[in-house]
Amino acid sequence: MADEDEIREQMIDAFEGADYPISNPMDLVPALPNGPGTKFESGDFSMTAMELNTKTSGGDFPYDDPESFVDDVIEDLKDQGEL
């Protein structure tokens, strides 16, 4: 089983380097350590940033900080049964 807090921490670490505010998912790519292939993993959960973009609603842009963006992504993953 995936640890939601661990996934949240990984995502915040990966996305915090973006130039906020961000207006779309492509604004996050330069901040990612391995680009779209950056993986978020915990327990049986493993998803790349590219997969996140295709499997979630994409968020409610713009975002002013990584925490609010990650909160929405986590909620979307939970709604879809991924977490």
Structural domain of residue 37, as residue ranges? Answer: 4-80
pLDDT the model gives residue 59: 83
Cβ–Cβ contacts within 10 Å for residue 37, how many?
11
pLDDT the model gives residue 79: 94
Domain of 22: which CATH number?
Answer: 1.10.238.80
Residue from 7, 54, 14 nearest 30 by CA: 14
Per-residue pLDDT of the chain (83 residues; tens, 9 = 90+): 899 999 999 999 999 999 999 999 999 999 999 999 999 999 999 999 999 999 888 789 999 999 999 999 999 999 999 99
- In the three-class reduction of DSSP (H, G, I as helix; E, B as strand; rest coil), residue 21 is classed as coil
Q: Which residues pair with 22 in a beta bridge?
A: 63
Domains of the chain: total: 1
